[in-house]
Structure 1
Amino acid sequence: MLKECDVETFLASREALDLLIDARSPKEFSESCIVGAQNFYALSDAQHQEVGTIYKQRSRNEAKILGARYICENVAADLQTIAKHYPIGSKIGIYCARGGLRSSSIAIILSHIGYQVYRLEGGYKRYRAYVLTFFEQLPHRRFIVLGGKTGCGKTELLKRLSPSLDIEGFANHLGSSFGAVCGAQPSQKMFENSLFNALYSLKPDQSIFVEAESKRLGKVTIPARVYQNIQTGVRVEITAPFEMRTKRILHYYQNVTPEFFYRAMAIIAPYIRKSVKEAIIDAYERRDLQSVVTFLLRDYYDLVYQKPLHVSFFFDNANEASCIASLLNLRETL
């Protein structure tokens, strides 16, 4: 079976799929993809470039023949892997860049073998257009926005609240000067895809928990309408004892490299006193991370934190279970 699907039909079938195949080249896939896809490419990076060059500069027919040969070779190599993990009869979704030969070639082979194949019309390009339109017309407006000073446990609360959006998780960034401590960030497109994937699964009339964020987290930017709708949500200020905040932040700083530390210090240097900067660096070089975190919270983060003019509720997170109960009760009353 081979079914051609528009974006909405394709997305509606996602939950039923056993495998989602991205048939684009590894380079295209690594930059961004539909969340949950696996890369069984029709053409490798080198093959994709070679075929494209021949198509543009020499002969379309020659390019098609060479591309078909490469696709057959690559599919032959992947079939054993697919069959090992996904028995014949499984439901497989597939897409390529524009819904062309790369996905159709693999889709035809898989369908003839006996797989139930759903192919995305227009490919990844049409999916991305749908994502951007979705953000522009975002129907979700009921947000419970958790604010508060660094280390008060907002991220941990979100993980135990439902429904919620972990925007920092999608961005792989904590939203602060030391926020890149989590490692490499996704591309802007992949960040948007992850955010879309989460929002698309939620009903617009649901109250969604989310953390108050700056518009930009590291190298990625929250889509304008998403940011605007969050800004108009119900603001809840989360507080926590200083000692608990220090312990929480210390966990993230355990594996900070010297290169990362000094780069982050250079960023915040204009906003702290020279004596504080020297004390932080001295503590770090003595591997006294407890003092590093204490200095950063007390003499930088707490000083630059700007509480919004309007806060609807204040909840203390000294007891997480109690704080969560209060937040869930708030959700039921909105």
Structure 2
Amino acid sequence: MRADSTDYRGVLLAGVPLLDVRAPAEFARGAFPGTVNLPLMDDEERHQVGLSYHLHGPAAAVALGHHLVSGERKAARMAAWAGFANAHPDGFLYCFRGGMRSQIVQQWLRAEAGIDYPRITGGYKAMRGYLIGVTDQAARGNLLVLGGLTGSGKTEILSDLGAAVDLEGLARHRGSSFGRRAQAQPSQIDFENALAIDLLRRREDGWRAIVLEDEGRFVGSRVLPLGLYDRMQQSPLVWVEVSFEERVQRVLRDYVQGLCADFIAARGPEAGFAAYAERLREAMAGIARRLGGARYGRLSALLEQALAHQASTGDVELHHGWIMVLLQHYYDPMYAYQRESREARIIFRGDRAAVTDYLRARSAPAA
């Protein structure tokens, strides 16, 4: 029989299977990567038990809970919990504070299914607190920040570095006005938890510095933890320099071809293409004020021509037109201004190969 655990570090590092028995609404607000939600009570049942607790006290609330989760309803939930436990014998279960709900599930599994399944002592709240501490610790550690103009391939560089944490990948957003993907962003808490686990793994691997992409406080609608963001603004900056032509091609590949493919994979050819086209239109409209009326009108016309041509022929060549104008007259001037304010922090600049080698050398574990 395995014991209940307070080894949050070990559980999270190993990606141990976790059974979350909180209500669906609690789970939707935040959980841990790969966790499965099989609740003891659904949202309405939890609401009723909560009202009973406030009106009549804990004994009445417990009695109501046992009444609500009984008979066929209890049997179905027992079968789901037993199925998870048998499929994941190395896992753990938890509720919010590691209290009554997880204890009840644990007791029922033992008494009625003959399964001894351990709990996370302290539950979700304790593990969440541990991860907040991990992020706070990372914000006091050594960071290297990777910068470059739009389309410079920063994400590709990060993927080649063991010391890197991909903020945009975790947030499921490319970080710009055109950065929304076909998949929805995670909840804020899910983003923070996944980020903290990645930071924990880099620390455990012994890297001398963690590498992050230069980001604003917001990555789409997700917000970087303030301490980490502030530390990034003070950390050394490594700048990758890429030709304009290569950047245009990369933007075309990621923000046009890749986005279209993602939508089609998710929704099918016709609905997927329509959603992809609307996403590009929305992105352009989102920066209309900053573009100015005349430039926005010109870029919108170029975009519509490119979309119509792509829809009829499958060819994406016409997208080069609006991408080139947008880089030259919107993104590049904006980044030039930002780089000027950060010039004193730049410790190295070079092409992709040189920057990758430099970051590897600076972040490598101590011998």
Are the structure 2 counterparts of residues 88 and 266 from structure 1 closer, same or farther at C-alpha, using a change threshold of 3 Å?
A: closer
Are residue 101 (structure 1) and residue 100 (structure 2) matched?
yes
Report the residue type matching 1:96 in the other structure: C
Q: Name the CA distance, whole Å, in 1 between partners of 2:194 and 2:128.
A: 12
Preserved contact between residue 13 and residue 197 of structure 2 (Cα < 8 Å): no
Are the structure 2 counterparts of residues 121 and 159 from structure 1 closer, same or farther at C-alpha, using a change threshold of 3 Å?
A: same
Gaps of 5+ in 2: 261-274, 308-317
Post-superposition offset of 1:80:
4.1
Q: Name the CA distance, whole Å, in 1 between partners of 2:35 and 2:94.
A: 9
Post-superposition offset of 1:26:
1.4
Name the SS of the counterpart of 1:162 in structure 2. Answer: coil
Counterpart in the other structure of 1:235: 237
Preserved contact between residue 17 and residue 88 of structure 2 (Cα < 8 Å): no
Preserved contact between residue 141 and residue 233 of structure 1 (Cα < 8 Å): no
User: Which consecutive aligned stretches of 4+ in structure 1 deviate over 6 angstroms post-superposition?
Assistant: none
Preserved contact between residue 165 and residue 212 of structure 2 (Cα < 8 Å): yes
The match for 2:37 among 29, 39, 50 is: 39
The match for 1:274 among 264, 283, 293 is: 293
Post-superposition offset of 1:29:
1.0
Counterpart in the other structure of 2:280: 261
Name the SS of the counterpart of 2:202 in structure 1. Answer: coil
**TM-score, length-scaled by structure 2:** 0.79
Q: Name the CA distance, whole Å, in 1 between partners of 2:302 and 2:78.
A: 56
Matched residue count: 329
Are the structure 2 counterparts of residues 134 and 67 from structure 1 closer, same or farther at C-alpha, using a change threshold of 3 Å?
A: same
Q: Name the CA distance, whole Å, in 2 between partners of 1:142 and 1:181.
A: 31
Counterpart in the other structure of 2:46: 48
Preserved contact between residue 171 and residue 185 of structure 1 (Cα < 8 Å): yes
The match for 2:246 among 229, 244, 247 is: 244
Are residue 312 (structure 1) and residue 331 (structure 2) matched?
no
Q: Name the CA distance, whole Å, in 1 between partners of 2:2 and 2:183.
A: 40
Are the structure 2 counterparts of residues 238 and 114 from structure 1 closer, same or farther at C-alpha, using a change threshold of 3 Å?
A: farther
Counterpart in the other structure of 2:312: none
Post-superposition offset of 1:131:
3.0
How big is the alpha-carbon RMSD for the aligned residues of Structure 1 and Structure 2? 2.8
Counterpart in the other structure of 1:292: 322
Are the structure 2 counterparts of residues 17 and 257 from structure 1 closer, same or farther at C-alpha, using a change threshold of 3 Å?
A: closer
Are the structure 2 counterparts of residues 89 and 326 from structure 1 closer, same or farther at C-alpha, using a change threshold of 3 Å?
A: closer
Q: Name the CA distance, whole Å, in 2 between partners of 1:304 and 1:10.
A: 43
Q: Which has the higher helix share?
A: 2
Q: Which has the higher strand share?
A: 1
Q: Where in structure 2 are the equivalents of 1:1-334 lying within 5 Å?
A: 1=1, 3-6=3-6, 9-14=7-12, 19-58=17-56, 60-71=58-69, 76-81=75-80, 83-84=82-83, 87=86, 90-111=89-110, 113=113, 115=115, 117-138=117-138, 141-203=141-203, 206=207, 207-250=209-252, 251-254=254-257, 255=260, 257-286=276-305, 287=307, 288-305=318-335, 306-307=338-339, 308-310=342-344, 311-317=346-352, 323-332=355-364
Question: Between the two proteins, what is the percent identity of the paired residues?
Answer: 31
